[in-house]
Chains A and B, each alone.
Chain A
Amino acid sequence: MDIRKYTKRLTIMMWCVLAAIFPLAMTKADEFSVITRQAAGQTVYFNAWGGSPAINAYIQWVGERVKVEYGITLVHVKLTETAGAVTRILAEKASGKLSGGSVDLIWINGENFATMKTHGLLRSDDWVSGLPSFAYTDPKKLPGIVSDFGTPTDGLESPWGRAQLVFGYDTAYVTTPPNSAEMLAKWIKNNPGQFSYPKPPDFTGTSFLKQILLEVSPEPTVFSLPADQADIDQALMPLWQWLDQVHPHLWQQGKRFPANYTALVQLLGDKEIAIAMAFNPTEFSNGISQGILPETVRSYIHADGTLANVHFVAIPFNANAPEAAQVVADFLLSPEAQIKKADSAIWGDPTVLDLSKLSASDQADFMALPRGLATLSESDLGQTLAEPHPSWVGVIEREWARRYTGQ
């Protein structure tokens, strides 16, 4: 045997083996530790809705933790309207600002995500699957973490929390809560001035419209497809009929609506209304412990289930500190941060992690979290409705504005 040929083959084989091993050796964890090193000293501008002191305080805690752990400075840019940051990023793209953008990390889901995805405003190298903490999730058990309102996330956004539409009522004024759209309409008519919902296009307000729509529509399946594939007028008609009959009996005769769910919950605390809603199962327990709500408040969901979805963080294509943003996204997904977030004394946002993948002590921590006075059990929350396709959001909001503006 030609020894030279042999060595050559051996060398090739060795290279092959090396080539196969190297990416393995350079595991995701190593890759991530490189990113972590690059991230040190960077400042992350986290653009997130800032209307809830509880959430703001949580984000502040995250800032303190990533400062200590990774040397990252986290600045919470408190948005009144998430779409405002989306248009800002678009303006940056329009004027050719391809790096050094003003947003490093943004809290989004649903329609805003769909908009950013179509306009190519997000960092698109599937950075999410490389996050060490992403291994604690299970997309099979919770498909919502890779499919945002039916739009595939494609690694463009990292899951942060889970939410479900939950109603809260004051037992001092309501004995049996109306647990369907039909019963709710009846209750509103019998109890004028005691119900309202946040003004669309507020997130919770629009979600309430979608909830009612899914309940009263004879054919809810059309909403899983894009809106332009359906007869929009006909599909939405049941919703408008429902609203037309209840609007005159709403709080302030339906001529004013609270700006968002925190304002709505405050109205419940003021006893102006008797039923409120929030996109967070522990909101009402939280409100009681904060002294905003009386201790007579309890929560419930509709018998057919309520809307549930996942909310995410994403990195814009021109982020100034993409590495640090990635590290923050990973921290937000870590068991430590998720346990803290699920605590109803802090925020009470349910976790996106799969408990069975966690260490025993983390599991125990999750189990040990107090559920709060007005929080339903996991099994009571079991019934969920899937979000309609995101294209319906704009359609519903626009038609709502056309029908109810200036009446």
Chain B
Amino acid sequence: MVLRGFIVCFCLVPVLAGLAGIGFPAFGWFPPLGGETFSFAPLTLLFDQPGLWQSIWLSLFTALISTFLSYWLAMMLLAYLYDQRRSAWVFRLISPLLSVPHITVAVGILFLLQPSGWLFRLISLCFTGWDRPPDVSLAPDLYGYALILGLIAKELPFLLLMGLSALSQIEVKALRDRAKLLGYGPISGWFYVIQPLLSVRMRMPVFIVMIFAVSVVDMAIVLAPSIPPPLAVRILEWFWDPDLGFQFIAAAAALLQLMLAFVCCGIWFAFAAVMMRGLGEMTRKGIRFAIPPIAAKGVRFFLLAFAVIPCLLSLLGLLAIIIWSFANVWRFPSVLPDVWGLRGWGQASSDLFQIGFNSLILGLAAAGLSVVIAMVWLETRHGKRWEGMIYIPLLLPQASFLFGLQMLLIWLRLDGAFLTLLWAHSLFVFPYVMLSLVSAWRRFDNRYLDVAASLGVNACRRFFTIKLPMLMIPILTAFAVGFAVSSALYLPTVFASNGRYATLTTEAVTLAASASRQSLGVASVMQMTLPLLVFIGCDLYTRLWATRFRYYRRR
């Protein structure tokens, strides 16, 4: 209990302190800047800001649409592909995106869809013969669709993974067979019986995704409209305004961001309730969706296309990134670089490698620490008590507490230290590691341990020689997931590091707004390589290592 209490404090103290750090200034109280009395002035000023309602709308619109689409696409993909071995390629296509940081996906989409991007070069080559790019804007566009596209490309794989993990806790086959006996086809059976069970288990991942989307900064800087940008980006702009009076407005806006997150979740809840009621109604009436096979095929094709397109575009974007990093000169409308070369890599040189090294060390440390904490958490025998609390950092918009946290860290003289940064990263890495590890851990067959105990093996040895090796694959997967999460974090790095630790993500955001595409390409290539290397490393290690054990060979 003490251990768990400690871990909960580890996760929640920074959050609560951060919330206080914006709560007071949002109501005008912040003595260092002359705010000595409480008032509603910051809120009034906030709502006087030009285009505020458009920013709010943009945040809500992109978050809801992207979450809604990725959720339903993920669910339908699961329904259609769950037991179809032939469709494994879809998962294989989508899973690389899981490890690629958000900002890299965004840069890829930019390289592909901007007016001088790869897509228009191809169009020009094949059809129109433009020698100048068209004056259109697909990415970034004026309504937030490019951001939605980028978010789906990142969220769909995550929700698929979470869905697969949730399905492993459901007796899918038995339930489906029973539905079949009652005359329900595979699709209607799935939606009446499996989907309700699944949706309950998916609630947490969906909220994580939704709240990430409503408060995303790095992707939005690259892909969202800019006058005005979504609320989270504006908070950052206000926070960085040379006129220090804007600090109060930024705090008030962070509070507003928190409200938006609640609104989003509320809308989702309401929608889910309506869905459930509708499903219930339909089951009572016994509607069985007798779709003719040909239509089912059509639906399936359409669905696959719809789900695959955002991911395919993102993968193409990643390819464009790689090409840009090796292009010395690449003018419109050339489809491939006019002059290939290593100029980007030469310019990046030691500086970028140092930054890459920072990312690597930080990621390994954060992932390692989080895995250890997660194992400690799971080994304490309190079931799921307090487990909801560790997910709180993911369920609040980052912007709503990180600004306040910065103040606290400076006050405690903890800012800019590596350990602080590690802590800030672990706040976000740990919950993801837990999400990835928890189901495998809870499914572990404790009878192995009982057998060992009956042979007189003590608890410590039981854990290290039996449980740990048998759970090595999920542990390493969780580690790789943790590394990927860490390498994608933007705001936590910016605010906990005081600018002293640059990571590839902060570097890419700095370069994305400007600079040469070569440098951005190089930074992005390194950024997608690192998590991938860690994934591959973990995978190779388990493969090599697992061959020693009959337990794994049998599978």
Contact = CB atoms under 8 A, between A and B. Distances in A.
B291 to A, nearest CB: 44
A76 interface: yes
Contact of A193 (B135, B350, B413, B415): B135
Interface of B is mostly: loop
A256 B140 contact: yes
Given A256-B137, A272-B132, A262 B514 contact: yes
B516 interface: yes
Contact of A294 (B54, B240, B241, B331): B331
Contacts of A403: 50
A406 B225 CA distance: 10
B406 interface: yes
B513 A51 contact: yes
Contacts of A86: 242
Interface in B371-424: 406-407, 410-411, 413, 415-416
A406 B227 contact: yes
Contact of A115 (B226, B243, B411): B243
Interface stretch (B76-84, B91-99, B495-503): B495-503
Interface in A90-145: 90-97, 100, 102-103, 111-112, 115, 119
Interface in B417-476: none
B142 A53 contact: no
Contact of A269 (B328, B331, B413, B515): B331
Interface string A390-407: 000010000001111111
Contacts of B242: 83, 86-87, 111-112, 115, 394
B499 A272 contact: no
A119 B244 CA distance: 10
Nearest to B332: A270
Given A83-B241, A94-B33, A256 B226 contact: yes
Interface in B129-144: 131-133, 135, 137, 140, 142
B32 interface: yes
B498 to A, nearest CB: 4
- Determine the main DSSP class of A at the interface with B: mixed
A223 B166 CA distance: 65
Interface string B131-161: 1110101001010000000000000000000
A95 B331 contact: no
B35 to A, nearest CB: 11
A47 interface: yes
Contacts of A78: 502, 506-507, 510
A102 B498 contact: yes
Interface residues of B, number: 60
Contacts of A255: 137, 142, 225, 227
Contacts of A252: 135, 137
Contacts of A259: 226, 513-514
A56 B135 CA distance: 31
B319 to A, nearest CB: 19
B489 to A, nearest CB: 16
Nearest to A47: B499
B500 A45 contact: yes
B226 A257 contact: yes
Given A102-B416, A401-B50, A77 B502 contact: yes
B50 A270 contact: no
A52 B32 CA distance: 35
A37 B204 CA distance: 58
Given A53-B515, A75-B500, A270-B133, 8 more contacts: A91-B410, A119-B244, A251-B135, A266-B517, A270-B332, A272-B115, A403-B50, A405-B228
7 contacts: A52-B515, A77-B499, A91-B406, A95-B410, A255-B225, A260-B514, A292-B516
